[in-house]
């Protein structure tokens, strides 16, 4: 896996360098293209949550997986409802949780430190996903947040100086986490950081996030799932596709239906932004909770 992750980071880093001048020449906002990538690649990396959920249900002493589906759907619906009622609070919480999730999941080796310190390091490592677009494309990023009824980052507290400090802390946390690892793993952490910087410096916020989310975060997570299914990549890939298609298709259908419904009240681009980010939030919370509980119970056994 170490060699695979290194090659993946190298390919993605070079991809970021190549795609940036192309975007500058074309200079267009491919919101529907971003939606397509997220529906196909982004969502699919969590499409095996049903299998993990069945495993968690057994750990909890239950036999029927219907309890998992009900809990997963209930959490997703509550996130959507709370977002509508308390958009600032829920989105801020989502960004904090997402930064932690990206920081931990994109660390391609096990890292164990003191609980609070390690959690802070993972948060700081993942925070450039949020901080970089605010620093390099503040107006465009805040415009998207306004569509989502979120105005926290318009505060003077989030000055450029403060964002630069956070970005530097994000880089330093990557170095600290990998300080005992070999050069290959250190290279993965450094390339991933600068890939984010390149994307957000040249591309629009939504495109930069989409390329990171789909081609780095999601593919990396999917590769790990493939090898969990089978040690042979070819066999594991076939199993992954067959198992991921049902939930990916179901989720994509719900997303498209939501866009069709919201387009009656908002412009198409605004409807897509709402579905992408509110939809991802509604999936991210139960996904992270599932990963946490499963990891906790697996350690006990």
100-158 pLDDT, tens digit per residue, is: 999 998 988 888 777 788 889 999 999 999 999 999 999 999 998 888 888 888 878 88
- Could you tell me if 185 and 178 are in contact, meaning their C-beta atoms sit under 8 angstroms apart? yes
6 near 187, Cβ under 8 Å?
yes
Structure tokens at 183: 């050069």
Contact 106, 220 (CB under 8 A): yes
Which residue do the tokens 């390339």 mark? Answer: 191
Average predicted confidence (pLDDT) for the chain = 87
Calpha distance 80→282 (Å, rounded): 6
Tokens read off for 33? 């293209």
pLDDT confidence tier of residue 29, bands split at 50, 70 and 90: low
- pLDDT tens per residue across span 41-96: 888 777 778 778 888 888 777 777 788 888 888 999 999 999 888 888 888 888 99
Q: In the numeric block, which tokens belong to residue 9?
A: 């980071």
Judged against a pLDDT cut of 70, whether residue 191 lies above it is answered with: yes
Q: Which of these, 134, 116, 280, lies nearest to 200 by C-alpha position?
A: 134
């Amino acid at each position: 896996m170490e060699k695979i992750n290194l090659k993946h980071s190298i390919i993605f880093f070079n991809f970021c360098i190549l795609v940036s001048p192309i975007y500058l020449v074309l200079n267009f906002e491919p919101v529907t293209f971003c939606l397509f990538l997220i529906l196909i690649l982004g969502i699919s990396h969590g499409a095996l949550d049903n299998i993990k959920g069945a495993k968690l249900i057994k750990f909890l002493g239950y036999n029927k997986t219907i309890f998992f589906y009900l809990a997963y759907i209930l959490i997703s619906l509550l996130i959507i409802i709370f977002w509508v009622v308390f958009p600032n609070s829920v989105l801020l919480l989502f960004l904090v949780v997402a930064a932690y999730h990206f920081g931990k999941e994109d660390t391609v080796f096990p890292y164990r430190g003191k609980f609070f310190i390690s959690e802070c390091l993972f948060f700081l490592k993942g925070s450039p996903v949020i901080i970089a677009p605010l620093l390099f494309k503040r107006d465009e990023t805040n415009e998207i947040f306004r569509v989502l009824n979120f105005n926290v980052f318009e505060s003077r507290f989030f000055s450029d100086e403060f964002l630069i400090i956070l970005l530097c802390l994000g880089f330093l946390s990557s170095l600290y986490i990998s300080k005992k690892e070999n050069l290959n793993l250190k290279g993965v952490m450094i390339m991933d950081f600068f890939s984010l910087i390149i994307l957000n410096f040249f591309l629009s916020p939504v495109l930069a996030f989409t390329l990171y989310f789909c081609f780095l975060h999601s593919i990396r997570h999917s590769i790990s799932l493939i090898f969990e299914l089978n040690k042979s990549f070819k066999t594991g890939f076939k199993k992954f596709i067959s198992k991921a298609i049902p939930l990916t298709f179901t989720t994509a259908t719900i997303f498209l239906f939501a866009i069709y419904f919201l387009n009656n009240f908002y412009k198409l681009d605004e409807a897509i932004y709402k579905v992408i980010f509110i939809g991802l939030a509604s999936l991210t919370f139960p996904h992270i909770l599932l990963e946490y509980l499963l990891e906790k119970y697996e350690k006990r056994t």
